[in-house]
Amino acid sequence: MSNDLKEAIEHRRTYYSINDKSPISDAEIKDIINFAVLHVPSAFNSQSTRVVLLLNDSHKKLWNIVKDVLRKIVPESAFHSTEAKIDGAFASGHGTVLYYEDESVVEGLQNAFPAYSDNFPIWSQQTSAMHQFTIWTLLEDAGFGASLQHYNPIIDVEVAKSFNINSKWRLIAQMPFGAPAGEPAPKEFQPLEDRVIVFK
């Protein structure tokens, strides 16, 4: 493994303090997305991951949707802190990546390979995770800070309606990103001897 790749993986962190500046062009951001979608593997080469890149007003629109949905279910006394977190850590960024899985692809594989039917939804999640990690690492390597959020499923209907998302696409995660405006929190590591076993 090259040192550059190891360093990129090591430096990928969760940033909750971001701004709307961008170290690269929007076209280069799209190139990062395209590269990942083309080259990240998937079970049975299913290519089930779908990615939506939201920039500018579309990015802001998403986080307004999140706040509108949460306002209806979060107690009024607690909503101020919720809104402050969204505005300061997510909506404040340059854009958001939405990760979807195309359930029509998963269902097609279940029908074609019934012996593996129960596994295809699991493998679909694994495929999405690989895309999330790859794009997150590449964004970080380009100079962005990002975090991974999970406001689904409570926002799914409104987001699909607002952005005309295919009804067979299932929202998995949201990744707001922007130029870092602060340092990530320290990361704690559990002992490797509890997590890795080697047999010779």
Spatial CA neighbour of 184 closest among 12, 19, 20:
12
Please give the tally of structural domains in the chain: 1
User: With bands split at pLDDT 50, 70 and 90, how would you rate the model's confidence at 185?
Assistant: confident
pLDDT in tens, 12-65: 999 999 999 999 999 999 999 999 999 999 999 999 999 999 999 999 999 999
The answer as to whether 87 is a domain residue is yes
- Phi, psi (degrees; rounded to nearest 5) at 149: -120, 155
Alpha carbon distance 110, 117 (integer Å): 4
Structural domain for 115, as ranges: 12-194
Residue 120 CA neighbour count, 13 Å, CB half: 23
**pLDDT value at residue 52:** 98
The answer as to whether 199 is a domain residue is no
pTM of the model: 0.96
Three-state DSSP class for 4?
helix
The answer as to whether 200 is a domain residue is no
The answer as to whether 2 is a domain residue is no
The answer as to whether 6 is a domain residue is no
Handedness of CA 140, 146, 152, 156 (dihedral sign): negative
pLDDT in tens, 102-142: 999 999 999 999 999 999 999 999 999 999 999 999 999 99
CATH number of the domain where residue 28 is located: 3.40.109.10
Which of the residue ranges 64-68, 118-122, 183-187 would you say has the lowest mean pLDDT?
A: 183-187
pLDDT in tens, 156-177: 999 999 999 999 999 999 999 9
pLDDT of 91 higher than 90 = yes
The vertex-174 CA angle with 107 and 129, nearest 5°, equals 55
The answer as to whether 4 is a domain residue is no
The answer as to whether 92 is a domain residue is yes
The vertex-66 CA angle with 124 and 188, nearest 5°, equals 65
**pLDDT value at residue 2:** 61
Q: Is 142 exposed, middle or buried (0-12, 13-18, 19+ CB in 10 A)?
A: middle
Give the pairing type, strands 49-55 and 95-102. Answer: antiparallel
The answer as to whether 172 is a domain residue is yes
